[in-house]
Chains A and B, each alone.
Chain A
Amino acid sequence: MTIDMAHFSPWSGLAGGALIGLAAVLMMGLQGRVAGVSGIVGGILRPARGDVGWRLGFVLGLIVGVAIDCAAAGVCWFASDLPIEIAASPALLVVAGLLVGFGTRLGRGCTSGHGVCGLARLSRRSMAATAVFMASGFLTVFVMRHVMGGL
């Protein structure tokens, strides 16, 4: 195994992780809610009275948070090199999006709900789900990059 030292960024990783954790703690402490993105979005699709506003607020916040970082870094929208690279083709984006949406709702959680909030509560369900989606993610990338040679 070789470490990609050009991209490895442990300190900003830890700092960003702490911010995500802080968001999860705020959601629990203020509202008693799990900061699971797939569950929050899923609830918008099945709207219950008085249960939509905070969900939309959280989703909007995610976008605003990135926009603030973008603005702080200089106006990155007009930069030729955006800080994201989406290498996948449109068809692959659609297939992957469908799988992520369907799978996270079926499994009742994603990286945030199971991987952060659930693990922090030592939930056995979340441990199992996190182990499975990590393994499945590793395997998928292995097949895509080293078996099929694509991407």
Chain B
Amino acid sequence: MRHVAAALLAGVLFGLGLAVSGMVNPAKVLGFLDLAGAWDPTLAFVMAGALVTTMIGYRLVLRRPGPVLGGSFPAPATSAIDRPLILGALIFGVGWGLVGFCPGPAIASLAYLDPGSFLFVAAMVVGMWFQGRIDRKAG
């Protein structure tokens, strides 16, 4: 239960961050991705704010022997840059550029009850499920 509460709290902060920064709005994200048009650099500032906070915060919390609620910290990420990583990022980028939604903002935007958000999230979940199916068949 404490894990659920902790994740809920983190989710709320994350969602607030997306709303405050305007990143929940796909039009604003497209404004960043449109280098050749009237460019809105805000997304770079969001990334910078998030990165600096996370780098400092990770450094502080990873000094502990383990997470506060038990378990262990994840092992350092592998460094293997493989085909699925690059191909997946490439496909994700195309979808991101088509509409301006990535997974976090798309889900968070459901709060506005816009039918477009529901359609996108439903399709996204199908895409995730389909990839998992291929993975299991291959694996």
Contact = CB atoms under 8 A, between A and B. Distances in A.
Contact of B77 (A76, A125, A139): A125
Interface of B: 1, 3-28, 30-31, 33-55, 57-58, 60-62, 64, 66-69, 71-74, 76-81, 84-104, 106-114, 116-117, 119-132, 135
15 contacts: A7-B42, A13-B44, A21-B17, A25-B54, A37-B102, A41-B128, A57-B5, A77-B113, A86-B27, A93-B116, A101-B124, A102-B127, A103-B93, A106-B131, A111-B103
Interface of A is mostly: helix
Contacts, number: 513
Contacts of B30: 87, 141, 151
A17 B71 contact: no
A81 to B, nearest CB: 11
Contact of A23 (B14, B61, B114): B14
A77 to B, nearest CB: 6
Contacts of B67: 28-33
Q: Bin chain A's interface residue count.
A: 35 or more
Contact of A103 (B1, B95, B111, B132): B95
A58 B10 contact: yes
B37 to A, nearest CB: 6
A33 B122 CA distance: 25
Nearest to B77: A123
